[in-house]
Copies of this chain bind each other. A is one copy, B any other.
Amino acid sequence: MPSRNISKSVIKRLPIYLRILDQLIRREVELISSRELSNESGFTAEQIRKDLAYFGAFGTRGAGYNTIYLREKLIKIIGLDSITDTIVFGAGNLGTALTRYNLTKNPYVNVVAAFDKNPQLIGKKIDSLEVLPIEKAPEVIREYGIKVCLITVPAMAAQEVADLAVKHGVKAILNFAPVKLSVPEEIHVHNADLTIELQSLIYYSSAEEERLARLDKEVEDNKSKSSKTFSYD
């Protein structure tokens, strides 16, 4: 029996494998080797084989993986074999984008409601979905047994919304607000912080070497100018 407690990095790769299989199946490819999967995904063939082996032996030695069979297994592993109902907090541009994307392009997920506090947004339609006031959330969470939600409200409001969601039974949060949410430890939070992605990209976009060399020089200069400029007075 495969051992459990599989690392986060492995789990993050599974949906990528799934997407590639979806594409291959659409192209009517029936069999794929780990080497070819490597080309498509950018991960090494060894890593792909090892990742899959945590969950079972899905391939055929000498041949490769049957795309349909492996896809089916991945769907079950990730837990996508029944559609996941979810809700979106915040119906601004980001909330609207995510709601619409998941409604139309993500067959594994259904958005049952979007909530906002702003009276101007309440009643607005996102495709056929009407934006509801946040007060309705507890009812919807209970009614649909919502376990996963997305938070796209402003940073200031995010903790409050998270508390409400957790209180009524949500187990996993995809958080787009630029704050660290405090939640009980059994609750899973993934942060999709777009500012952080962008800033860390900027690090690489301009001549790293030069910039850091300049920094070193500054720190040097500071030191020699007597101890430290600031000290604590």
B-contacting residues of A (Cβ < 8 Å)?
1-2, 4, 8, 11-12, 14-16, 18-19, 30-31, 40-42, 55-58, 60, 63, 66, 68-69, 73, 76-80, 84, 86, 92-94, 96-98, 100-102, 105-106, 108-109, 147-148, 150, 171-174, 178, 180, 188, 190, 192-206, 208-209, 211-212, 214-216, 218-219, 228-232
Contact = CB atoms under 8 A, between A and B. Distances in A.
4 shortest interchain CB distances as A-B pairs: A93-B97, A172-B205, A15-B199, A94-B97
B56 A180 contact: no
Contacts of A55: 212, 215
B230 A66 contact: yes
Count identical subunits in the complex.
2
Contacts of A194: 98, 101, 174, 192
A66 B19 CA distance: 46
Contact of A230 (B69, B100, B147): B69
A87 B105 CA distance: 25
Nearest to A100: B93
28 contacts: A8-B200, A14-B199, A15-B196, A15-B200, A16-B196, A30-B232, A31-B232, A41-B180, A55-B215, A56-B216, A56-B219, A69-B229, A76-B215, A77-B215, A80-B199, A84-B205, A93-B93, A101-B194, A147-B206, A148-B198, A150-B198, A172-B204, A174-B194, A174-B201, A188-B201, A188-B204, A190-B197, A190-B201
B180 A40 contact: yes
B190 A79 contact: no
Given A101-B94, A203-B79, A219-B56, A106 B14 contact: no
A172 B147 contact: no
The winner among A84, A172, A201, A229 for most chain B CB atoms within 10 A is: A201
